[in-house]
């Protein structure tokens, strides 16, 4: 899977969990400060990414990812 | 002690000092009695007087000459070296030595009474049906069994008989003010038993109650307090215009700042300020500090109420069904509302308003939130929040009870057979729900509350982390000093539980973790009459409490056996090493997640409002001056040290075990 595809699917999950339009989600956006993710939504994002990509991410490290592009990098490493 | 009648000379002296009595012959005095400091006092009825000659100090250290001044005394036994001054009516009391009573309106035992013992308190259900007669030896465990085990009529009936027998033993028409008590500036005290070293200062009305106190754990009843039908145990403070009625106050409790309470029980180290408690069963460490907080008809323990917390039931039909169970360690956020009846699992946080009845007790460590008017549950999330960790550390350090006899039996372990049993159950349910829920479904309703489908797998992973942390931790605790273990056989022997009493289901008996079977045995023994008194019952509960470590290991070792498929007869060293490696990995991971959560307290969003008139540099400096730096925070440093210690211990033990044959 190329990076663009990962990026698109990451944004799709973010849009669904945080109830945003995909077009409003920038690559550099911070989940908390720019997209307003709460602690619970952060966990849902992790769960959503795992389901979307059929992967199991490290519990500790996955919660440390702060930006959309960071999530793309982090997930890409599992693919 | 030998008492004698007053002599003519003494009567004349007393009269010359302004004393009056129509029955001087009814007065008997200690053989060494002197009249010197008995002034302007009227005596009536049978009176006994001790030697009143020394000085006495009040709580502020101001010394007074012992004596009886400007008072009216009827039917009292007064011991040595008391100071009774300006007491308008002191009647039917036995006053111990070194007691100070000053500026008191009325201090009387009116008629035969049990001094608050036996007063029925409708806790947990204001509509009744769970009434508990309170008494001065009541523990949170006995109260829990009496209030919550109503399904067992025979047990309840026997227990009530035992309580009745005890409370009747307190019946008397003569009150007690025990030695070294101090009662000042108080309007009315009626039918109240006052323990030694009690300090009552500025109270308005105390009626039909018992105050237990001792040298090591003085009890303080302060200004403006109105208390009717109550028991207050040692080391507690009730002050600040508190208004309490039909209320039990356990050891080391603080009630004040205009808190009002009715039909409620407060056990060890609870704190109640400003708000209102109605028919609550406040187990150990229940805390409510804020105005507009109404706690009603709920069971709590290790609980913290946010401001404006409220519970109710708006479905009035045959009457309100007010009954909520908030298990150990729960918290409600500001203006959290719960529709009763409901049940909240241990160590869970409730935020927002919840208008449906639900039961989240299958999922400890949960977040319960309101999303667009709907109640949602995020299981296991509170496992790695800094709040849970801080709370679990602080409770044992904040045990205010100084009484040599601590009544409530309290275990503090965050992870224990009861909680881990719940975690295992939670994992099972999450697996089941995950298996049967299609991907097209966003939410699953479990016992009245919604769980997002996406969380089923993630929450299970968090629970498994806690489980692995628990197993390894218990093995490390059990292993103790390892240098005398010389073989795999030695290792298995060290880990062998040696009993099976603790292996089944556990319960949290309001502060005490215990195998359910042990509590059931006690209940059977109450039913059969083998346990026939409150003393006997509390002793048996104490035995179970004291065996906690043993039962707990039995439960854990059984779990390890089931988890690994190996018993301690044949478990391999490699399997133990695997558990310890899992422990190290997951404990460190959990600690790091907690640290990450703590980091949020120092990030940019928490600096809003800091450096009020300056730029971002001033903001950061102001923030650091007030909140400190992350890496300097005591809790953070402690957790980082703990992580390092876990890694070191794990490496050391694993390397040692690898050498075993």
Reported as a single tens digit per residue, the pLDDT across B57-103 is 877 788 889 999 999 999 999 999 999 999 999 999 999 999 999 99
- A36 shares contact with chain B (CB less than 8 Å): no
DSSP code string of B287-298 = EE-STT-EEESE
Residues B551 and B413 placed together within one structural domain of the fold: yes
Rounded CA separation B483/B656 (Å): 8
* Whether B497 contacts B119, CB under 8 Å: no
What is the mean pLDDT of the segment spanning B532-551? 97
Both B409 and B490 in one domain: the answer is: yes
Selected residue with higher pLDDT from B482 and B110: B110
The SS3 of residue B17 is coil
Pair B515, B606 in one domain: no
| Pair (B546, B648) in one structural domain | no
The architecture in CATH of the region A3-76 reads: Orthogonal Bundle (1.10)
* Chain B interface residues (partner A, CB cutoff 8 A): 367, 369, 376, 378, 381, 385, 439, 452, 454-455, 457-458, 461-462, 465, 589, 592-593, 596-597, 604-605
SS3 at position B601: helix
Out of B369, B454, B592, name the one closest to residue A51 (CB). Answer: B454
B455 and B601 together in one domain: no
Closest CB to B369: pick one of A33, A40, A51.
A40
| Rounded Cα gap, residues B421 and B434, in angstroms | 20
Same domain, yes or no: B411 and B560: yes
Please, which contacts does B207-215 make with residues 24 or more away whose CB atoms are closer than 8 Å?
A: B208/B113, B208/B115, B208/B116, B208/B119, B209/B115, B209/B116, B210/B115, B210/B116, B210/B117, B210/B136, B210/B170, B212/B136, B213/B178, B213/B181, B214/B403, B214/B404, B215/B180
Does the CB of A74 have a partner CB in chain B at under 8 Å? no
> Domain check: are B409 and B540 in the same one?
yes
> DSSP assignment of B246-288, as one string?
EEEE-TT-EEETT-EEEEEEE-TT-EEESSEEES-EE-TT-EE
The Cα–Cα gap between B472 and B143 comes to: 35
Determine contact: A68 vs chain B, CB below 8 A. Answer: no
Domain extent at residue B453: 401-564
Residue B226's pLDDT band (cuts 50, 70, 90): very high
Domain final position from B549, B564, B579: B564
B429 domain residue, yes or no: yes
Q: Is residue A13 less than 8 Å (CB to CB) from chain B? A: no
In Å, how far from its chain's centre is CA B366? 22
Shared domain for B509 and B406, answered yes or no, is yes
Place of tokens 């001044």: B69
Q: Residue A50 and residue B593: Cβ atoms within 8 Å? A: no
Beta bridge partners of A65: none
Residues B168-193 have pLDDT tens digits of 999 999 999 999 999 999 999 999 99
Task: Determine the Cα–Cα distance for residues B394 and B333; give it in Å rounded to an integer.
Answer: 19
Beta-strand pair B63-65/B55-57 = antiparallel
The alpha-carbon gap from A17 to the nearest alpha carbon of chain B, in Å, equals 10
List, in sequence order, every beta strand (DSSP E) within B499-555. 506-509, 512-515
Answer whether residue B513 is part of any domain.
yes
* CB contact at 8 A, B134 and B149: no
pLDDT in tens, A13-72: 999 999 999 999 999 999 998 999 998 999 999 999 999 999 999 999 998 899 999 999
Shared-domain flag, residues B487 and B617: no
Of A33, A47, A63, the CB nearest to B457: A47
Block residue for tokens 């060494």 = B32
What average pLDDT score do residues B334-355 get?
96
Of residues A33, A44, A50, nearest to B452 (C-beta): A44
Q: Say what the alpha-carbon torsion angle B446, B450, B453, B457 is, to the nearest 10 degrees.
A: -60
B462-474 tens-digit pLDDT: 999 999 999 999 9
CB atoms within 10 A of CB B373: 10
Q: Does residue B442 lie within any of the structural domains?
A: yes
Spell out which residues of chain B touch residue A46, defining contact as CB-CB under 8 Å. 458
Per-residue pLDDT, averaged over B445-457, amounts to: 96
* Cβ count near B470 (within 10 Å): 23
Q: Which residues of B touch A59 (CB under 8 A)?
A: 461-462, 465, 589, 593
Q: Is the backbone peptide bond immediately before B642 cis, with ω within 30 degrees of 0?
A: no
d(CA B580, CA B586): 10
Indicate the SS3 state at residue B347. coil
Rounded to two decimals, the pTM is 0.95
Q: Over the stretch B311-335, which tens digit does the pLDDT of each residue have?
A: 987 666 677 678 899 999 999 999 9
Count up the domains in chain B and report the number: 2
Asked whether the predicted pLDDT for residue B366 surpasses 70, the reply is yes
Note whether A48 contacts B454, CB cutoff 8 Å.
yes
């Amino acid at each position: 899977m190329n990076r663009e595809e990962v990026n698109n699917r990451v944004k799709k999950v973010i849009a669904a969990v945080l109830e945003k339009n995909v077009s409003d989600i920038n690559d550099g956006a911070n989940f908390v400060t720019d997209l307003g993710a709460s602690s619970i939504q952060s966990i849902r994002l992790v769960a959503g990414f795992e389901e979307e990509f059929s992967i199991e991410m490290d519990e500790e490290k996955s919660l440390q990812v702060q930006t959309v592009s960071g999530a793309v990098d982090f997930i890409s490493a599992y693919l | 002690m030998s008492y004698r009648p007053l002599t003519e000379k003494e009567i004349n002296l007393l009269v010359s000092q302004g004393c009056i009595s129509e029955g001087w012959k009814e007065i008997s005095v200690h053989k060494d009695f002197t009249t010197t400091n008995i002034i302007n006092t009227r005596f009536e009825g049978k009176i006994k007087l001790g030697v009143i000659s020394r000085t006495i100090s009040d709580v502020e250290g101001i010394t007074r000459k012992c004596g009886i001044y400007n008072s009216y005394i009827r039917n009292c036994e007064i011991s040595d070296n008391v100071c009774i001054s300006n007491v308008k009516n002191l009647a039917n009391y036995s006053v111990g030595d070194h007691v100070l009573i000053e500026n008191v309106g009325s201090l009387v035992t009116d008629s035969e009474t049990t001094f608050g013992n036996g007063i029925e308190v409708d806790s947990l259900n204001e509509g009744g049906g769970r009434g508990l007669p309170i008494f001065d030896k009541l523990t949170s465990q006995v109260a829990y069994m009496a209030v919550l085990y109503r399904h067992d009529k025979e047990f309840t009936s026997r227990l009530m008989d035992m309580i009745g027998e005890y409370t009747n033993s307190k019946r008397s028409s003569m009150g007690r003010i025990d030695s070294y008590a101090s009662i000042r500036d108080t309007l009315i005290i009626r039918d109240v038993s006052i323990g030694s070293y009690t300090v009552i200062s500025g109270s308005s009305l105390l009626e039909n109650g018992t105050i237990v106190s001792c040298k090591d754990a003085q009890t303080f009843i302060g200004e403006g307090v109105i208390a009717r039908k109550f028991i207050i145990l040692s080391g507690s403070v009730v002050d600040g215009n508190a208004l309490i009625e039909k209320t039990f106050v356990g050891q080391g409790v603080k009630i004040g700042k205009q808190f009002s309470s009715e039909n409620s029980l407060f056990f060890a180290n609870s704190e109640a300020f400003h708000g209102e408690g109605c028919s609550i069963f406040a187990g150990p460490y229940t805390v409510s500090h804020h105005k507009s907080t109404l706690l009603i008809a709920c069971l709590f323990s290790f609980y913290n109420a946010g401001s404006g917390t409220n519970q109710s039931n708006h479905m009035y039909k045959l009457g309100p069904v007010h009954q909520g169970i908030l298990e150990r360690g729960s918290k409600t956020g500001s203006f959290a509302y719960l529709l009763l009846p409901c049940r909240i699992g241990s160590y869970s946080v409730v935020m927002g308003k919840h208008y449906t009845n639900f039961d989240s007790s299958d999922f400890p460590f949960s977040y319960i939130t309101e999303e667009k008017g709907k109640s949602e549950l995020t299981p296991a999330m509170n496992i790695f929040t800094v709040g849970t960790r801080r709370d679990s550390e602080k409770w044992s350090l904040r045990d205010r009870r100084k009484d040599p006899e601590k009544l409530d039996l309290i275990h503090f372990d965050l992870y224990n057979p009861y909680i881990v049993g719940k975690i295992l159950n939670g994992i099972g349910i999450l697996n089941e729900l995950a298996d049967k829920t299609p991907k097209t479904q966003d939410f699953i309703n479990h016992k009245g509350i919604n769980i997002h489908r996406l969380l089923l797998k993630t929450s299970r992973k968090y629970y498994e982390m806690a489980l692995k942390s628990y197993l390894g931790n218990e093995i490390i605790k059990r292993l103790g000093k390892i240098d005398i273990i010389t073989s795999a056989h030695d290792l298995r022997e060290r880990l062998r539980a040696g009993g099976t009493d603790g292996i089944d289901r556990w319960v949290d008996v309001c502060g005490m973790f215990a195998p359910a079977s042990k509590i059931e045995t006690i209940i059977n023994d109450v039913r059969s009459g083998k346990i026939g008194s409150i003393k006997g019952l509390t002793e048996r509960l104490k035995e179970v409490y004291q065996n906690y470590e043993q039962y707990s290991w039995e439960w854990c070792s059984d779990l390890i056996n089931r988890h690994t498929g190996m018993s301690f007869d044949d478990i391999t060293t490699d399997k133990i090493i695997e558990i310890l490696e899992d422990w190290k990995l997951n404990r460190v991971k959990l600690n790091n997640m907690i640290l990450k959560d703590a980091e949020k307290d120092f990030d940019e969003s928490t600096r809003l409002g800091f450096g009020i008139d300056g730029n971002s540099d001033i903001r950061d400096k102001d923030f650091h001056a007030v909140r400190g730096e992350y890496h300097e925070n005591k809790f953070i440093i402690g957790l980082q040290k703990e992580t390092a210690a876990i890694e070191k211990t794990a490496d050391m033990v694993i390397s040692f075990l690898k050498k075993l044959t």
